[in-house]
Structure 1
Amino acid sequence: MTPVACGECAAVVLCEKFSPAHTQVQWTEEASVLPGGCPRIAAEVATGRPSARVRSCEALRAGIEAAVLAGRLEVPADV
């Protein structure tokens, strides 16, 4: 899995692309709690929701797309 930073809050998650439409995101402990974590994810975790159940946020999705475009996160060519 490849570390990818959110362009808004700089929280780092682990990502893997299986196809252009399928992205696996693994939230790290650091990405899900404040300080230093994603405020959107931290708000969900604070309500008792497991970080693994938080789907995403638009800022993070933009960071993932930027990583794909820059070649830091590869999409398999054979899909």
Structure 2
Amino acid sequence: MRPNCECCDRDLSPGDAHVYICSFECTWCPACVDGFENRACPNCGGSLTLRPTRSPEKLADNPASTVRVLAEDCVATR
């Protein structure tokens, strides 16, 4: 679970039920997804779906990633 939107770099908590991912787990906030052509992943062109959340008790033993990922082409166009 990535900690940020790959386009605008907004922080995204592991419990946020309004985060989108593609099959490659590219991660996006709703505001950025609204601006994507056909609401498709700008990296792979795949469909986006809401990211599942992880329960707090599972997060304790299996924390979300702290590695931030940015799609440079996306950031440059915003």
TM superposition score normalised by structure 1: 0.26
| Greater RCO, CA 8 A, separation 6+ | 2
Q: Please identify which structure carries the higher strand content.
A: 1
Q: Please identify which structure carries the higher helix content.
A: 1
TM superposition score normalised by structure 2: 0.26
